Chain A
């Protein structure tokens, strides 16, 4: 009887918590997308599971020689413009345009080569249809060429803790001061 009651209370708590968080998700949140991704450890996660901390989000692919390394550099520089305390509270999510070649192992190799911070960075892949949808929602354009290269626009997007797009920058290779200011503001928000 006691166990049953405990289970009932537990179930009710879970349902209530679930309803509360679903109800609070803003209409313009990126976390409205029903997407499952796989990280550089091979772990699956839903996009909505990123909720709770501000994020920098961008897209890339590992076999890209020119712009994509610059995207990682720009994300690192943006992080470096923050205080250590701010840096620790900001996550970075970089999703591949190239699910065919960017396996979790390939992502893990780049993660190591680029000495990314394990505490805040995630490199991820998802399915081809999901890549199209995520790029569409982020207003990023891309096109696979027959050569195997992928033509794409580059942007860093700032999401607040609820997945709302707070700022974006198309400046790659340098720190965008306005973007950094928006990041600091998102981190300062209660």
Chain B
């Protein structure tokens, strides 16, 4: 039973953090780095809405206050490993290592999913994320541009010990920010990115045991930035967290922009 003060607190938090902005993406036929089928040419991405920015520490703090089962001191171990939100000062306070406008990281897939559900949303699928991340400020698909690839790739060379910047990078052609150069992001079907194809389609089953097998079913092997995302996501378990791994949420195309 929520007390009056808890309701007042929740209300003040809602006022403090304006509702997230979701922008429309058209979807369409899309050449993914990870084909839907060995033989398929392209995947179809349905129109959808994507959060323009990743979820911040401030937003996630508001969430754990209203959903205390996701506090780091109460979360069930099945849903988050011990490093979950460990950089926060306390279970209900951000502190100096977690600025409010910085993307929240050290969150598990289960926690990210629960957050998105609390916002009437869901995590984007890999294809949705990849579709969005192909854009730059002027083009829906900038992936063939070597300069663009270079710039994206530059971020991955940075040591992950540097403090994270705040959200609010340059908007792309859809108005989405921070898909590159800030954090890694969970996707709903992170556990669908098994990069080795079905053993029946392979000549040498032993090769499936190695990371290199993934390259057999990956297209566009020059797009290292995307391939690194695939490799990283496919190595994760749902309760895992990392210092650079955050998330954003998605909604169906017909959802209100609230």
Contact = CB atoms under 8 A, between A and B. Distances in A.
A150 to B, nearest CB: 9
A142 interface: yes
Nearest to B122: A129
Given A136-B109, A141-B234, A146-B40, A28 B198 contact: no
B191 A135 contact: yes
Interface string A125-147: 00000001101110111111111
A32 B36 contact: no
A112 interface: no
B64 interface: no
Given A66-B200, A145-B37, A137 B78 contact: yes
A141 B200 contact: no
B56 to A, nearest CB: 24
B197 A151 contact: yes
Interface in B179-202: 188-194, 197-200
Interface in B47-69: none
A30 B78 contact: yes
A142 B197 CA distance: 11
A152 interface: yes
B37 A146 contact: yes
Given A139-B238, A145-B37, A27 B193 contact: no
Interface centre among B78, B234, B237 (most CB of A within 10 A): B78
Contacts of A152: 194
A132 B77 CA distance: 19
Interface residues of B, number: 24
Interface in A113-170: 132-133, 135-137, 139-147, 149, 151-153
B76 interface: yes
Contacts, number: 60
B30 interface: no
A29 B200 contact: no
B192 A143 contact: yes
B191 A136 contact: yes
B79 interface: yes
Contact of B237 (A28, A33, A139, A146): A139
A75 B152 CA distance: 47
Given A137-B238, A151-B197, A152-B194, A143 B79 contact: no
Given A136-B191, A140-B191, A27 B77 contact: yes
B226 to A, nearest CB: 17
A132 B109 CA distance: 11
Given A136-B238, A139-B237, A28 B194 contact: no
Contacts of B193: 141, 143
A36 to B, nearest CB: 17
A141 B36 contact: no
A27 B36 contact: no
B92 to A, nearest CB: 19
Given A137-B238, A145-B36, A147-B37, A132 B188 contact: yes
A28 B191 contact: no
Contacts of B76: 27-29, 32
A28 B78 contact: yes
B79 A32 contact: yes
Interface of A: 26-30, 32-33, 66-67, 132-133, 135-137, 139-147, 149, 151-153
Given A66-B199, A136-B191, 6 more contacts: A30-B78, A33-B78, A139-B237, A139-B238, A141-B191, A153-B194
Q: 5 smallest A-B Cβ distances: which pairs?
A: A136-B238, A27-B77, A143-B192, A28-B77, A141-B194
6 contacts: A139-B191, A140-B191, A143-B189, A143-B193, A145-B198, A147-B37
